[in-house]
């Protein structure tokens, strides 16, 4: 049985004070919801403060990015060793990083290797762009992204994959539950080919892209979907709590 996971990606939103306030608004309700892993991914500068707030609760913390070197002359970067002290999860390969910061498959691969090495649990984001989707290339794109991201990684214990069609992120145009379920099933079959059926059945694969309290049920009813990576709706305490609650009821 895979425990569902809902992660809130706050992206480049919230000052330290706002991040603390947002966490305080949902802390008690989130903590009470069982059978779902709940992960908050605030900006780096808020990780330590939110880590203190959630201490002793069932809520986990994640970072939105990481560099692949452990230390040295890399001005402005944050290393896996620094994060390992603060949080459990780290989002890697988000489409916004691929698009605006030129993250290639090779960089994503190095980041995953570096994260796993220090015991961080990567949430690897993959997904096709609109023109690729319309050209019927979804399978080819996600297969290539999986192959490049997981090069020379023999053990993926701790990994979560988030299938995030780029055309659905922040657009209000979510995939349908059935579309997402189909592609996630396909990703699971690819993982089975790479790592065996047992590993594939244990792997959590999330859907991400305009998930809200209004459409969460559609996704959580799907057998292949093990949770969600939530952007915009994770900045609204009542929406995020509702998504987690629906997940707990349906999974």
Binding site for ligand PEP (CB under 6 A): 9, 11, 164, 169-170, 208-211, 229-233
State the catalytic residue, choosing from 18, 94, 182, 224: 94
- Name which of 23 and 234 has its Cβ closer to ligand PEP: 234
State the catalytic residue, choosing from 96, 103, 128, 164: 164
- Phi, then psi, of 136 in degrees rounded to 5: 70, 30
What secondary structure letter does DSSP report for 161? E
The SS3 call for residue 11 is coil
The radius of gyration of the chain from alpha carbons, rounded to an integer in Å, stands at 17
Planar angle of CA 137, 141, 144, nearest 5 degrees:
140
196 by Cβ neighbours in 10 Å (0-12 / 13-18 / 19+) ranks as exposed
Q: Least distance to ligand PEP from the beta carbon of 229, Å?
A: 5
Planar angle of CA 146, 133, 129, nearest 5 degrees:
65
Q: Least distance to ligand PEP from the beta carbon of 2, Å?
A: 20
Annotation marks residue 94 as catalytic: yes
- Name which of 195 and 243 has its Cβ closer to ligand PEP: 243
Annotation marks residue 134 as catalytic: no
Give me 40's structure tokens: 């908050």
Contact 172, 131 (CB under 8 A): no
Q: Least distance to ligand PEP from the beta carbon of 231, Å?
A: 2
- Name which of 148 and 212 has its Cβ closer to ligand PEP: 212
Which residue's CB atom is positioned nearest to ligand PEP?
Answer: 231
- Name which of 47 and 92 has its Cβ closer to ligand PEP: 92
Q: Least distance to ligand PEP from the beta carbon of 6, Å?
A: 11
The SS3 call for residue 63 is strand
Give the residue numbers marked as catalytic. 94, 164
């Amino acid at each position: 049985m895979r425990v569902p996971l809902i992660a809130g990606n706050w992206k480049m939103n919230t000052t330290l004070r706002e991040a603390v306030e947002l966490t305080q608004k949902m802390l008690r309700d989130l903590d009470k919801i069982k059978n779902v892993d709940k992960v908050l991914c605030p900006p780096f500068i808020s990780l330590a403060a939110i880590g203190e707030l959630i201490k002793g609760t069932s809520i986990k913390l994640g970072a939105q990015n990481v560099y692949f070197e452990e230390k040295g002359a890399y001005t402005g970067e944050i290393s896996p060793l620094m994060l390992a002290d603060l949080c459990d999860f780290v989002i890697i390969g988000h489409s916004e990083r691929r698009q605006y910061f030129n993250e290639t498959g090779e960089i994503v691969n190095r980041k995953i290797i570096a994260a796993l090495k220090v015991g961080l649990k990567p949430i690897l984001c993959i997904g096709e762009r609109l023109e690729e989707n319309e050209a019927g290339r979804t399978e080819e794109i996600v297969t290539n992204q999986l192959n490049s991201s997981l090069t020379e990684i023999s053990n993926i214990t701790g990994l979560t994959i988030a299938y995030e069609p780029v055309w659905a992120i922040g657009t209000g145009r979510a995939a349908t539950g059935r579309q997402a379920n189909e592609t996630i099933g396909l990703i699971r079959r690819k993982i089975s080919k790479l790592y065996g059926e047992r590993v594939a059945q244990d792997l959590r694969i999330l859907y991400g892209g305009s998930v809200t309290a209004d459409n969460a049920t559609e996704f959580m009813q799907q057998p292949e979907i093990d949770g969600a990576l939530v952007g915009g709706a994770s900045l609204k305490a009542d929406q995020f709590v509702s998504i987690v609650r629906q997940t707990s009821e349906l999974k």
